[in-house]
A and B are shown apart, each in its own frame.
Chain A
């Protein structure tokens, strides 16, 4: 449920949607073939790319602010 861009409804801890434990891990091809070290590696890649995106966005915002200030 992590894909929703909307703010989540305020649901108490005990009532959260937690399906994961229920599943039979046999056919869970993606996660089953990844060990914890690889999961950490993927997380590092994801965070690094996020950081890069934010840096680019920061530069773009700075440029936008500069343009707006000039127009003022």
Chain B
């Protein structure tokens, strides 16, 4: 048994993150805590929770939700944790989490079960109904709440008044305690645990991190702003640039990481104050000697793309920009409440191309306002930004997630369909419903954008790799020719995809049949994949000696 004051602090920092800092809390750290969630691309949320608990002496095991259920059950039985925490990122997995919780209980795991994430925070009653095995929900930012809950459980104290939780009352109703304020100073948090091997791109190690939390925008399809505005405190919080760069330097020198993936809800770039912050970050990167040794990716909006700032970021290692463009029609952008116009999206893409920055984008071909006309506008928009083969077109359908304003408005209009695991809606024109189903079968299941072929993402991965080669390796033999081939493959893929969408759109609008089928798409799709594999692997194989020698030298440099 030990006693610590509740205070989250990074090394050498002493800023309080809790109003109860001075309270002395009893805790018993003998039994471990088990956290289960998605670990693909790293799970920073779980990393922060785990680091916070460990800072206060708890043993924490983090397991991958995508592991075999039997393995998870065996691990839980072996560990005998006092608490199992589930991190539910995507609401359509809620039943799978429910099944796992059930399997754990059936195997005799008697720990307290809690769950956190956007969906459990915003739809606590539904979560308690759908996952009957959970005892509580950690709502909103979880570090302080999970720590306090663990402290109470560890000494067998009552936990039902812990701030920031939800639980079942005597009659099964959802009881909610007042939430904690958002953590004002993110640098009081310890750096997230990353007890896993980094993923790699051409042998270069990649790790996620954040420089900020929160989003100041109010897109109708997104629950992030709702999540942060539901509790008191400043919505967007930025870390100190020096702290961010110190974390990067640590990961570079100790773990050999050369690619950093900023997972901020919206990287702070918009407006003068945030631009100053970004320039401070750049200065810190130079100060730490990381420029030229590491590269980084960020997520942003089109209206944040400023040519001068992006040129400075590019020179300091920015190599890939993900933009949520979302729509190429004004009606679509209005419905999604993006707060940008089509022209701004176009200008942003043009500026990134002029700066020589590789980009990826999110795009919703279908949203609740979709008409045949808007689909054609969206295809026209995609043609204008990637018709040159600079990137493979990807798109999806907007889904009405819990907690989003658009879900509420669809419910009011009586257009909401499906359930929490498969939220859906009717389009205004019933013919678009069948068009979407048809296109979905062909494009997704046959594997253009997703599925087992996933042609577009594979092409974009090849572009990502090329950008990494340009920034972290010496100039490679045959690079220009490879880029030309990749561009030709991308163009051919996009052309076929656009033709498919336009043909299907016309057929459904006019009520006639069309000539496309999964079998007919599979052949060209496979041919393009074959060309991509041959070009990519051929290029890499030709330069293999240089690539491997560079990796070896970088490892030696990092070790030194």
Contacts and interface: CB of A to CB of B under 8 A. Distances in A.
A68 interface: no
Contacts of B203: 14-15
B40 A21 contact: yes
Contacts of B92: 32
A34 to B, nearest CB: 11
B548 A4 contact: no
B41 A15 contact: no
Contacts of A10: 541
A67 interface: no
A8 B533 contact: yes
A26 B464 CA distance: 20
Given A3-B526, A21-B41, A30-B445, A8 B452 contact: no
A1 B458 contact: yes
B537 A9 contact: yes
Interface string B424-446: 00000000000000001000110
Contacts of B195: none
A8 B529 CA distance: 13
Contacts of A27: 396, 444, 449-450
Contacts of B41: 21-22
Given A3-B453, A4-B530, A5-B530, A15 B444 contact: no
B336 to A, nearest CB: 16
B110 interface: no
For A10, A27, A31, the residue with the greatest tally of chain B CB atoms inside 10 Å of its CB is A27
B450 A29 contact: yes
Given A19-B457, A21-B199, A12 B548 contact: yes
Contact of A17 (B199, B440, B461): B461
A36 B449 CA distance: 22
B484 interface: no
A14 B551 contact: yes
A54 B41 CA distance: 40
Nearest to B92: A32
A6 B534 contact: yes
B92 to A, nearest CB: 7
Interface size range on A against B: 20 to 34
B536 A17 contact: yes
Given A29-B451, A30-B450, A19 B458 contact: yes
B544 A15 contact: yes
A12 B548 CA distance: 8
Contacts of A26: 90
A36 B99 CA distance: 13
B134 interface: no
B90 A25 contact: yes
B294 interface: no
Nearest to A23: B457
Contacts of A25: 38, 40, 90
B325 interface: no
A71 interface: no
Nearest to B548: A12
Contacts of B544: 11-12, 15
B307 interface: no
Interface in B509-557: 526, 529-530, 532-534, 536-538, 540-541, 544, 547-548, 551
A1 B489 CA distance: 14
A21 B197 CA distance: 13
11 contacts: A1-B458, A3-B526, A3-B529, A6-B530, A8-B537, A9-B538, A14-B200, A17-B540, A19-B458, A21-B41, A29-B445
Given A14-B202, A17-B536, 11 more contacts: A3-B526, A12-B548, A15-B547, A17-B458, A22-B457, A25-B38, A25-B40, A27-B444, A29-B440, A29-B444, A30-B452
Interface of B: 38, 40-41, 68-69, 90, 92, 96, 199-200, 202-203, 396, 440, 444-445, 449-454, 457-458, 461-462, 464-465, 526, 529-530, 532-534, 536-538, 540-541, 544, 547-548, 551
Interface of A: 1, 3-6, 8-12, 14-15, 17-19, 21-23, 25-32, 35-36
